[in-house]
Structure 1
Amino acid sequence: MSSPSNWPLPPESIRFVIPRRVISELALHPLSQGLYPLGMGYYRQASGHQMERQEHDDNLLIYCLDGEGEAVIDGQKTRIRSGDILLIPKGVSHTYQARKRKPWTIYWVHFHGHHAEDFAQHLQQRESNQRRYVMPIGIHSRLASDFEALLEARESTYNLNAYICAANQLRQILSHIALLQPLAKQKQSRGGLDIERVHSLMQTHIHEQLDLDTLAESISLSKYHFVKKYKEVTGTTPINHFIQLKIERACHLLDTTNNGINEVAFAVGYEDAYYFSRIFKKLMGVSPSQYRKMRTGAFPYKSE
């Protein structure tokens, strides 16, 4: 794997390199050998982030959620903006960095496998016989959610099935990008409200708290107009939707992990487990512990 940058990692960012013994197993397993991740992360407002590789021995995908970066790839200089995909195939020398005035926020994943080149060619449309390394697709909350699901692999210290799942999640991400490309030129807003940008911000802060001021500022609207327009489009308020996303993620963690209720609460941005349980029960009709018992049949789906 090409080494990830040594950018100093702040608490709100993630860098995860898959253990080599796991990579060896993924490279041999029939369900993952075609395409598998080597490392992945999330860098938030990555001021000072930069990288130079003359020898690049894997494939790199970067999804810019906010801010800007710039890159020189095979001698081509280009700017990366919010909503852009940067895809650098194996063997292509490159440099890239976050812009100083408005540093980017990105998801990234290094990957390998005998289908990696096939995916790269599928995504990178050629112009004048030159490969396109930067693909504008816009901000999509579902794609951000896909990356968050990929990053969940880091919670498994050694569970091959979890990494096989991550390998197929990566396949989903690349397939999803291809699906989004024909829509890239369409405006990603309704009546002046860029709802995908708002929902992507929610997805990437699912483990934190967000206020209305931050959400409104992300699309350059006043708080009053933001709430009004959002409710016209969705029928609910931004904060209610954000809470719903948190509870959906909590359900996923309760279904797929053995983490305690306190840990699940913290993972979705609640330091007070009792308060989290109250909100969970209000939305789901059962407590977190009762919800977890449903999967074993120890608690009924419906009350008699």
Structure 2
Amino acid sequence: MENETADIKKKEGFNGQKAIVLPRSIISKDCMTNPLLSGTYITDIGFYPKAKFHYRERDHGLDQYILLYCIDGKGDVKIEKTAHTLSAGNFIIIPAEKSHAYASDKNNPWTIYWAHFKGHLVKSLIRLLLKRQKSYKGFVQFNESRIKLFDEIYSNLERGYSIDNLCYVNISFSHFLSSFIFDEKFNYSYKKSMANPVDISIEFMQKNLHATFTLEEIARSVNLSPSHFSALFKEQTGFAPIKYFNHIKIQKACQYLQFTDLRIKEISATLGIDDPYYFSRMFSKIMGVSPQDYKVKREMLRETKFL
């Protein structure tokens, strides 16, 4: 049960605040039973600007996960016995069923976006977050696109609880959550940051799909030793650099097969692979079908208007 003092402190609210609590009948009837919704769905969502005296204490936690995202001011969060301080750029996920308390700073009250959410996929998402962040607390670069995504989710919820609306909102909310887990990817097109050597090397590969490179040559493009570069690349992508390069070559080959009349030999040469038989073997290994079969199947799909 929430602290009574907290209710007294907050009863007057915060200027500009907004919040939506989804009807529990909607959650149990639609969100929990619909396969498109049951993985991750919102139960409550809101925005509290300059939330002076905002305070919550729950000795037994909630049956929902809570996201707090601070964009201004600061505050404190305690999950069981672990204390965290949130300031601008920090976010935290409070796990379900864990005792917690949080409070806005009295002198510099926080401005937060927040959401309560549930679903059978949420534990896996939080495990992924912990694997990457090593903590329930993290930091993200400010991005207007993230705020616009939140506002879009909120404004659509204001329009009611039709199945179409709920599906759109909760699929969008999964994207919103992923923007915290994968901040560097969410921000990539927004800030065009190329400081990461792995990003630089992938850009180098994409611009040189017509060429063939050794590991040493790709590593040289980012001024790293082959061993250091290879370890860093595999850590961030899960693939060795040359294998990754081959994958994006085959990705491009699929586009040629689908959208052009180039022959397989011509596609192979365009991608810097002189031996078309080697190209076909590589394509088959990655895609599970030969280039010729891939092309035939795509043509059949186009004819039947599935694409």
The interval holding the TM-score normalised by the smaller chain is: 0.5 to 0.7
Aligned to 2:146: 143
Contact 1:58/1:111 (8 A) holds in 2 = yes
Q: 1:2 to 1:41 in 2, by over 3 A?
A: farther
Pairs aligned (count): 183
Match of 2:250 in 1: none
Paired AA for residue 107 in structure 2: R
**Matches of residues 162-201 of structure 1 in structure 2 within 5 Å?**
162-180=165-183
Counterpart check, 1:85 vs 2:91? yes
**Contact in 1 for aligned 2:38/2:120 (Cα 8 Å):** yes
CA RMSD of aligned residues (A): 2.7
**1:74 Cα deviation from its structure 2 partner:** 2.0
Q: Which residue of 2 aligns with 1:97?
A: 103
The answer to whether the 8 Å contact 1:137/1:183 transfers is no
Which structure is higher in helix share? 2
Which one of 33, 51, 55 corresponds to residue 46 of structure 1?
51
1:106 lines up with 2:109 in the alignment: no
1:115 to partner: Cα distance: 0.4
TM-score by structure 1 length? 0.55
Question: Could you give the per-residue CA deviations for residues 154-194 of structure 1, whole angstroms, max 9, x where no partner exists?
Answer: 3223322212211111101111222215899xxx899xxxx
What is the letter of the counterpart of residue 9 of structure 1?
A: G
Structure 1 residues 101-124: Cα deviation after superposition (integer angstroms, max 9, x where no partner):
110001000000000111111112
| Range with bigger deviation, 15-24 or 107-116 | 15-24
Query: Equivalent residues in 2 for 1:258-273 (5 A)?
Result: none
2:53 aligned counterpart, secondary structure: coil
Structure 1 counterpart of 2:17, from 3, 13, 18? 13
Aligned-pair identity (%): 27
Task: Note closer, same or farther for the CA distance 1:177–1:132 as it changes in structure 2 (3 Å cut).
Answer: same
Contact persistence 1:22–1:160 (CA under 8 A) = no
Instruction: Tell me the CA shift for residue 10 of structure 1.
Output: 3.3
Query: Is there any run of 5+ residues in structure 1 with no aligned partner, and where?
Result: 191-304
Query: Do the aligned partners of 1:2 and 1:58 also contact (CA within 8 Å) in 2?
Result: no
User: Pairwise mapping of residues 1-304 of structure 1 onto structure 2 (< 5 A)?
Assistant: 6=7, 7=10, 8-24=12-28, 25-56=30-61, 57-125=63-131, 132-180=135-183
The structure whose Rg is larger is: 2
Alpha carbons of 1:75 and 1:126: their partners in 2 closer, same or farther (altered >3 Å)? farther
Taking a change above 3 Å as real, the CA distance of residues 75 and 99 of structure 1, as seen in their structure-2 partners, is same
Q: What's the CA shift for 1:99? A: 0.5
Between the aligned partners of 2:31 and 2:68, the Cα distance in structure 1 is: 22
1:111-150 C-alpha deviation (Å, 9 max, x unpaired): 00000111111112378xxx51210112111111111112
What amino acid does structure 2 have at the position aligned with 1:145?
Answer: K
Q: Using structure 2 for the length normalisation, give the TM-score.
A: 0.55
1:48 aligned counterpart, secondary structure: coil
2:290 corresponds to: none
State the AA in 2 paired with 1:148.
D
In the alignment, the residues of structure 1 paired with residue 48 and residue 128 of structure 2 have an alpha-carbon distance, to the nearest angstrom, of 26
Shift of 1:76: 1.1
| Contact 2:70 2:89 (8 Å CA) reproduced | yes
Structure 1: how far apart are the matches of 2:140 and 2:45? 20
Whole-Å separation in 1 of the counterparts to 2:169 and 2:13: 23
Gaps of 5+ in 2: 194-307
Amino acid in structure 1 at the alignment position of 2:73: G
